[in-house]
Amino acid sequence: MQDGKIRVGLLGANPEKGWGTSVHVPAIAALPQFVLEATGTTRQETAEASAKLFGARLAFGDAQALVTHPDIDLVAITVKAPEHYRFAMMALEAGKHVYCEWPLAVNSTQAAAMRDLAAARGLKAAVGLQARAAPPLMRAHDLLRDGYAGRLTAVRMFCALPGGGGRRSAEGLYVIDKANGASTLAIQGGHAIDALRYVAGPFAGLSATVLNQFDQVEVIETGEIRRKDAPDQIILSGKLANGAGVAVMINGGAVAGHGIEMKFFGTEGTISVSAQGGLNFQMSELLLQGARRPERELKILDIPPGYDPGLIPADFKGRQPYPGVDVPRATIVNVTNLYQRLGRAILEGAELDPSFATGVEMHRLIDLIELAQETGKYQERSYFF
């Protein structure tokens, strides 16, 4: 640290597009305890272009040089999922704190190794499950904990998402191979299911149907047809640890009617978190609603000051990370909140959530879902936990 600031090296800092420069750069810029010290890409010239564009002092075309530089305190990993493990282990071995986007790795074995190395080195390591830092979901979590809905009896989640369908850009073809750990189940499913378990609590057990409805993909730029083995439809039913029944449907490749919704039903009321047209809970402007007996109709619920620290201007207009994808203000708020938590963990020793341990739990829950699909049997959470 220098002058009390955490110096960040951003891996995946493409000057023209990408999650890192569209979401992480404005989040880092909004927080006085952080400074973007270095940008890293696969080529020196693009790294230097990003450094100039975003005001970073250093630029690296080699990841090893970035993570080992003495002026870097925290490495933020925003590259494609198959590279997360390699870069995170590299950074941890170099004694750096880490922020790694979700999925944490391509499987739970890699994720556990990342978690264990961070713990052994006494380093803070955050995973980008940003829905846990979304103000409406944080408020829903607190309302349930404080008894707004009474005893929780049932949870229902539905996501109709455009990603995962029958067309894909050449750049995104890595997601069609299940072995790369970037399927609809791993990425969109991981984010959504983790949002549910954050608000309502962990699963006790589940049954699962996991399908691949788009086994052929057209490459948008060339018209080439490629085989796809990564799943795109996830249907779960089961029970939470608190006894509530739970039903989940995640529909990838929806051509119209996109949207997301979670409803939490209790003995005294109902809470809803939704976004018509939303892409997922971690990157949408969410609507929080609720009602308590004797009310019947849901109404918008206030979110008190503090959940959103107000660091991102109300009229914020971000860059597009990918063609046709807009980044709403809420996305930047969520990532900013997560960076704030990481900053407190590094500077003050505060507890960190979501940490790499959180990511390992989510990877193991995905393992449980896949086992339930493969066996056709209800699986107890204790199998992997």
Q: Where are the domains of the chain?
A: 6-131+351-355, 132-314+363-374
Q: What is the sign of the dihedral through the CA atoms of 30, 31, 36 and 37?
A: positive
Query: CB-based burial of residue 77 (10 Å sphere; 0-12 exposed, 13-18 middle, 19+ buried)?
Result: buried
What is residue 327's predicted lDDT score, i.e. its pLDDT?
83
Nearest one of 209, 210, 214, 208 to 162, comparing CA atoms: 214
CA distance 332 to 352: 19
Dihedrals phi, psi of 60, to nearest 5 degrees: -135, 130
Taking residue 306's Cβ as centre, other Cβ atoms within 10 Å add up to: 10
What is residue 8's predicted lDDT score, i.e. its pLDDT?
98
The strand order across the sheet containing 167-168 reads 167-168, 216-219, 225-227
DSSP bridge pairs for 289: 272, 300
What is residue 169's predicted lDDT score, i.e. its pLDDT?
87
Q: What is the sign of the dihedral through the CA atoms of 12, 13, 18 and 20?
A: positive
259 CA to centre of own chain: 17
- For the chain, residues with pLDDT lower than 70 are 320, 322-325
Q: Is 160:252 a contact under the CB 8 Å cutoff?
A: no
Helix (H, G, I), strand (E, B) or coil at 238: strand
Residue type, 222: T
Model confidence over 297-350: pLDDT tens digits?
999 999 999 999 999 988 887 776 766 667 889 999 999 999 999 999 999 999
Helix (H, G, I), strand (E, B) or coil at 346: helix
Superfamily of domain 132-314+363-374: Dihydrodipicolinate Reductase; domain 2 (3.30.360.10)
The strand order across the sheet containing 58-60 reads 58-60, 34-40, 6-11, 74-77, 97-101, 125-128
What is residue 323's predicted lDDT score, i.e. its pLDDT?
63
Q: Is 365:238 a contact under the CB 8 Å cutoff?
A: no
Residue 342, CA distances (Å) to 52, 185, 338, 385 in order? 26, 26, 6, 25
Q: Is 144:150 a contact under the CB 8 Å cutoff?
A: no
Query: CB-based burial of residue 344 (10 Å sphere; 0-12 exposed, 13-18 middle, 19+ buried)?
Result: middle
Between 3.40.50.720, 3.10.129.10, 3.90.870.40, 3.40.50.1260, what CATH number should domain 6-131+351-355 receive?
Answer: 3.40.50.720
Helix (H) or strand (E) holding 63: helix 63-67
DSSP bridge pairs for 125: 98
Task: Give the burial string for 128-158 (b: 16+ CB within 10 Å, else e).
Answer: bbbbbbbbbbbbbbebbeeebbeebeebbbb
Nearest one of 3, 9, 6 to 57, comparing CA atoms: 9
Q: Is 359:104 a contact under the CB 8 Å cutoff?
A: yes
Per CATH, 6-131+351-355 and 132-314+363-374 having the same topology is answered no
What is the token pair recorded at 122?
């006494």
Q: Is 181 left (phi over 0), alpha (psi -120 to 50) or beta?
A: left
Nearest one of 159, 108, 102, 147 to 126, comparing CA atoms: 102
CA distance 229 to 333: 34
Q: Is 102:187 a contact under the CB 8 Å cutoff?
A: yes
Q: What is the DSSP letter of 281?
A: T
Number of H-type helices and E-type strands within the chain: 10, 18
Q: Is 217:128 a contact under the CB 8 Å cutoff?
A: no
